[in-house]
Amino acid sequence: MKPFERLLLENKAWAEEKHLQEPEFFERMSQDQKPDFLWIGCADSRVPAEIIVNAQPGEIFVHRNIANQVITTDFNSLSVLQYAVDVLKVDHVIVCGHYNCGGVKAALNKQNANLVLVNKWLMHLKDIYRLHQKDIEGFHTDKDKANRLVELNVIEQVRKLTHTSIIQQAWREENRPVLHGWVYALEDGKIKQLIMLPPDSPIESIYQYTDALTS
């Protein structure tokens, strides 16, 4: 059996079992979604958002990319953010990184000439390293240095959310969402909270929008 065929069989078995357990499940799922959370996580296959927090389908709106980045020139992530905040009206936005992140470890090394696009994406992580180099280099092992950059990256991405017109407008007009920065440990499956910013959190003036907000 080919690997993709196994996935199709597993899907069929899951759907049938789910229907037996909850006959109304798929009818309920076919209605409009109303998640409370937007999850911005890493694309790493070991960190599936719903599974690690034991969430049910429909509870979390998920966006994942390499090293859980919030890049304000990336229309993909901004479109997800705007839809989650302005249409789905989520109350919480979570940026969740994880220790032993391959993207973060790659950013601490020289650029790979064969991965031109990946290099450009990781440049944002290299900038965070440059800004916090003294802090990161204070750790003795490469693993500890990388894990510290994982934490600093999560904190930076949460702060970047506050620099968007989407969050600023929602904070000003609807007093939501709360922003969270978490990190997941592959070794024990536990999540640690690094930062939480409620809607009344200060934003540096150079990042603030005037009354005429634009995306």
Instruction: Give per-residue pLDDT as tens, 78-94.
Output: 999 999 999 999 999 99
Mean of pLDDT values over 128-137: 97
Whether 96 is catalytic is: no
pLDDT at residue number 215: 46
In the chain, where the domains are located? 1-31, 32-207
- Shortest CA distance to 159 belongs to which of 120, 115, 196, 105? 196
Please identify which of the residues 63, 64, 96, 98 carries the catalytic annotation: 98
pTM of the model: 0.93
Residues 46 and 186: beta-carbon distance below 8 Å:
yes
Please identify which of the residues 101, 148, 159, 180 carries the catalytic annotation: 101
The class of domain 32-207 in CATH terms is alpha beta
Whether 98 is catalytic is: yes
Q: Is the bond preceding 3 in cis, omega lying within 30 degrees of 0?
A: no
Whether 64 is catalytic is: no
Residue 135 has pLDDT above 70, yes or no: yes
Instruction: Give per-residue pLDDT as tens, 4-51.
Output: 999 999 999 999 999 999 999 999 999 999 999 999 999 999 999 999
pLDDT at residue number 210: 86
Whether 46 is catalytic is: yes
Please identify which of the residues 28, 46, 142, 172 carries the catalytic annotation: 46
